[in-house]
């Protein structure tokens, strides 16, 4: 009888675990879709902000030019006032010949024409400045609306992340032994290269899964999503002091506390602090490749979890601007990740 009840417990436990796994898979799909919508909205907001900055700069330049022209115009008017006061007396008392008087009149007419042309130019520029100001105000209203939509999509993503954390709590409890072993490997590792090597060779570490290699690395990029919405500021081979790296990866610049995404489907083989890198995530994929993501202030994945391309895995630092480092390793050797990104590194 005891054996029967024990078997039933095992069956029920397996059934619940399977149910949790299905719930997690469904949630991950919802989360990835919501994150894609949010990421698109984030890019639209970023484009809107850049356009507003450009318009503000143009407005500053036009204002400066108009102030400069106004100063010149005041000089012209001052000169005209003086001519108005002294011209009659100068003409009456002058010993100038008629030819010299005609020449002076021609010069004066040219001076007046120059003033009229400058006035007309200032009128056109002032009208353009007013139009520019109207465009800026309209842009601000549009940006405010975009920001509201952006915040709504962010709330949706964060709500799904909260649900995911609850489901993962049970899994995390069951992975204590695995976390302990990986923690021991991290403690024994001298650097990132050593850590990746130990994770790759450890029998107890999570097994690498992912999409099979479909083409040679330099002929087809396989990252599906940019890891963060921002700009690429450092490429492979360029040393950068921001994240204390040796130039064997890419560095993206983003807004503070921005969402970080898994660039492709992979398995989390490391998630947590390491040495002086704060929080890092290491993803295993394509049998012998690893993607290292460094510069996170918070991690939203757990050890052994399979993440989908575009699924949020954490947040960048709270510094402004924040920086995210991405490194790709082939059989533990750093290689240039740029061919894997292709079109995703432009914006």
Name the most confidently modeled range: 8-17, 86-95, 120-129, 262-271. 262-271
Q: Is the pLDDT of residue 85 over 70?
A: no
The confidence band for 104, taking pLDDT boundaries of 50, 70 and 90, is low
- CA angle at residue 73 from 72 to 75, to 5 degrees? 65
Q: Could you say which of 1.10.287, 1.10.3470, 3.90.550, 2.40.350 is the CATH number of the domain covering 2-173?
A: 1.10.287
Q: Supply the pLDDT for residue 105.
A: 65
Q: Does domain 191-345 sit in CATH 1.10.260.40?
A: no
Q: In whole angstroms, what separates CA 82 from the centre of its chain?
A: 60
Report the Cα 110 to chain-centroid distance in Å: 56
Q: Closest by alpha carbon to 201, among 211, 189, 214, 213?
A: 189
pLDDT at 133 over 60: yes
* Overall pTM > 0.95: no
Taking only the tens place, the pLDDT of each residue in 180-236 is 778 888 888 878 878 888 777 764 455 544 444 443 433 345 888 999 998 898 888
**Segments making up each domain of the chain, as ranges:** 2-173, 191-345
Count of beta carbons in the 10 Å neighbourhood of residue 18: 10
Res 212: pLDDT: 43
Q: What is the pLDDT of residue 166?
A: 76
């Amino acid at each position: 009888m005891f054996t029967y009840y024990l078997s039933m417990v095992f069956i029920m436990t397996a059934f619940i675990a399977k149910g949790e796994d299905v719930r997690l898979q469904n949630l991950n799909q919802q989360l990835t879709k919501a994150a894609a919508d949010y990421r698109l909205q984030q890019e639209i907001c970023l484009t809107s902000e850049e356009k507003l900055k450009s318009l503000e700069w143009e407005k500053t330049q036009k204002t400066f030019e108009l102030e400069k022209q106004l100063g010149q115009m005041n000089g012209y008017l001052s000169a005209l006032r003086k001519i108005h006061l002294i011209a009659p007396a100068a003409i009456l008392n002058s010993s100038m010949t008629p030819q010299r008087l005609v020449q002076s009149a021609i010069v004066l007419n040219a001076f007046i024409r120059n003033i009229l042309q400058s006035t007309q130019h200032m009128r056109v520029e002032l009208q353009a400045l007013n139009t520019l100001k109207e465009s800026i105000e309209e842009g601000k209203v549009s940006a405010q609306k975009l920001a509201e939509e952006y915040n709504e999509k962010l709330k949706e993503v964060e709500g799904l992340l909260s649900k995911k954390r609850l489901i993962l709590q049970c899994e995390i409890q069951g992975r204590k032994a695995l976390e302990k072993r990986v923690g021991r490997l991290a403690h024994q590792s001298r650097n990132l290269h050593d850590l990746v090597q130990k994770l790759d060779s450890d029998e107890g570490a999570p097994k690498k899964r992912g999409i099979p290699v479909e083409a040679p690395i330099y002929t087809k990029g396989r990252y599906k999503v940019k890891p963060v919405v921002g700009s690429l500021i450092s490429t492979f081979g360029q040393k950068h002091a921001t994240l204390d790296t040796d130039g064997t990866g890419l560095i993206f610049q983003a807004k503070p506390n921005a969402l970080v995404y898994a660039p492709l489907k992979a398995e989390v083989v490391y998630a947590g602090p390491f040495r002086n890198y704060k929080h890092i995530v290491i993803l295993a994929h394509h049998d012998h490749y690893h993607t290292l993501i460094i510069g996170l202030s918070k991690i939203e994945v757990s050890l052994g979890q399979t993440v989908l391309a575009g699924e949020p895995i954490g947040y960048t630092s709270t510094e402004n601007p924040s920086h995210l480092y991405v490194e790709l390793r082939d059989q533990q050797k750093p290689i240039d990740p740029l061919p894997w990104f292709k079109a995703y590194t432009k914006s």
